[in-house]
Structure 1
């Protein structure tokens, strides 16, 4: 049985992932710093470049039996690919959006709004939908319907693995999954402002820097995915630190827009 405490963790993850982006949205509205056009294009770019194009590349190069690449079992190669893929797709997506779709929307508030749209839709897809999916599966396990509904489509070994994962995942892991969306949103906003400055100043090299920064932030999660780092509590403080640096940059970047 999945306990009520575990279920509470799933609900907490869902609520944090939903309410925090809404809180930032309301804050920007009150500060008159929200551009709806940039917000929605930021969300659209994430879906197209991260959830469609990047996922298609994953299908082509990642071994489903991994985690590893299809042509090598090298852990280092998988970590490098995992770190770079998100950076390349998302930062190029940001650049193309500001360069062509938002060429008349290049103010500070557009960077804020684009980043919130980008990070907000990620929070919904990962944190909210992930939480809903977890609650549904947990209820199927608790009512004895899991094997009947999902079991027919999966091998017994995989079915047992999924069930054990839900039975053994504690309250704290779900809460951390929600809290992780907070620094992630600030990181998306900071990177959006950075790429926006690249477009405003016609310096594509800044986009390369953004790709490198994004890849650097994804190295540790990729190492956790392949089992090099086994303790999730090592990862979360690092992500939080990146989030703090992102907040500092967001505040200081306003001067760059006023002076450029």
Structure 2
């Protein structure tokens, strides 16, 4: 890995198992993702833009269809700048303004949507937030870090960075609607790339913006004034593409000179739905059947091999449902204690907390269920069947959800939005959701099916460990199940934000192989073998 500049805006049986080696490897990978952090440096950003600059963007769905337009206007005032932003979607719009000093520090901001109005006044070390909903204002004071940025200014303020191929930077942001502090890490991915957009052709820096457990993507022009050329939001899948821009007041417009559509015009545009039949067929013929079928195939084989009945399978499924309720309760409790700033945690910490919550809820309810409600279940085969029911409930639920989603896509394509009772803005939102799904790589249905198979094996392994903690009266086996669950879920969060889907699944495949090895070491002969 090349060294990068970092810039900050202003301011026993168990121990002998080969599975432990897999856990150690995974822990090393988790730690390695935060190792060798570069030194922080301080930078005073200088704005590269001119008074009166206006940039307009098309907002596209993943399939390229137009969903809305957005614009940023920059105006000089006093000893600072006023940043105005407008976003127009089908049937809705929102506006925001941020007043900045000459060093681009926020002084005040305002955001107006159809649901609320948020106003923020910044002071040293604190900010005053006023949120008005249904005409009723609510004001509170929050502590802020020195050099914090307003969320609505981040994408434009990044233009002031000293761009280079080895650029790495950070900025703390206040999410004004919630009062949360979010730490953002920006990293240029390599040499400039060429983008052809409605506004023209540009050489661009591609930067990943990591925000907690999410990674956003943006492209900035290599040459001054380092325009924001393109931006992709990982949550919605929306892509902002530069449509036109005016360098300064009175300067000629560059790019698409046609007036952008209004919210009403966007809502009346026909929904152009683009089908991806190979993806749909793989989902219908491979993904959904595999996700639903793996549970019953596993339960049938375990029953035939070990004699553990479907009632044991059902017990595991019931406990999985209870664990979901417990998980939600733990999540809500954690949110109430930590507040909105939970999202501001570093990625590794967030991943470990997410993993621990999942581990405690699932392995905790597994232990309680087997310890107090089904005391007669103590065999190896029953542990297998219990785990199959636990993991199978999740697999079937996800499989049915995937099947329903794919069928809705087919219905939308066959009968149109009206056939599903959708029109106007709701039709465009459905198009956005389905186009985001269908724009995924063609291998994703197969990856999803394989992931469920691996998850089933891992759930069965952890259930056997919990069962063993009760039969042997050794709590370390339960702790092993908890640790495995925590690390697996933590890696899922961390891996998706560092090495992507295939890298994440590759590591999970190695862990699953270790789980199979562990089950082999812990295996017990079936009842008929004992009788013989």
TM-score, structure 1 normalization = 0.84
Q: 1:83 Cα shift?
A: 1.1
Q: 1:167 to 1:109 in 2, by over 3 A?
A: closer
Could you tell me how far apart the structure 1 residues matched to 2:459 and 2:317 are? 11
Could you tell me how far apart the structure 1 residues matched to 2:521 and 2:378 are? 17
TM-score, structure 2 normalization = 0.43
Could you tell me how far apart the structure 1 residues matched to 2:432 and 2:495 are? 18
1:195-214 matched pairs, under 5 angstroms: 195-214=466-485
1:170-209 matched pairs, under 5 angstroms: 170-209=441-480
What residue number does 2:359 align with? 87
Q: 1:153 to 1:90 in 2, by over 3 A?
A: farther
1:120-199 matched pairs, under 5 angstroms: 120-126=392-398, 128-142=399-413, 143-145=415-417, 149=421, 161-199=432-470
Could you tell me how far apart the structure 1 residues matched to 2:526 and 2:477 are? 15
Greater relative contact order structure (CA < 8 Å, 6+ sep): 1
What residue number does 1:7 align with? 280
Q: Does 1:28 align with 2:299?
A: no
Equivalent position to 1:239, from 508, 513, 518? 508
- Structure with bigger strand share is 2
Q: Does 1:19 align with 2:293?
A: yes
Larger Rg: 2
Could you tell me how far apart the structure 2 residues matched to 1:136 and 1:56 are? 32
Larger CA deviation: 95-104 vs 76-85: 76-85
| Structure 1 residues without counterparts, runs of 5 or longer | none
| Structure 2 residues without counterparts, runs of 5 or longer | 1-273, 528-532
Q: 1:248 to 1:33 in 2, by over 3 A?
A: farther
Secondary structure at the residue paired with 1:34?
coil
Could you tell me how far apart the structure 2 residues matched to 1:153 and 1:42 are? 42
1:212-223 matched pairs, under 5 angstroms: 212-223=483-494
What residue number does 1:43 align with? 317
Could you tell me how far apart the structure 2 residues matched to 1:168 and 1:17 are? 21
Q: 1:148 Cα shift?
A: 6.5
Query: What is the CA deviation profile of residues 65-107 of structure 1, one whole-angstrom value per residue up to 9, with x for unaligned ones?
Result: xxx9722312333212211111111111111111111211101
Q: 1:194 Cα shift?
A: 0.6
* Number of aligned residues: 249
Q: 1:29 Cα shift?
A: 2.6
Could you tell me how far apart the structure 2 residues matched to 1:256 and 1:207 are? 22
Could you tell me how far apart the structure 2 residues matched to 1:147 and 1:57 are? 40
Secondary structure at the residue paired with 2:376?
coil
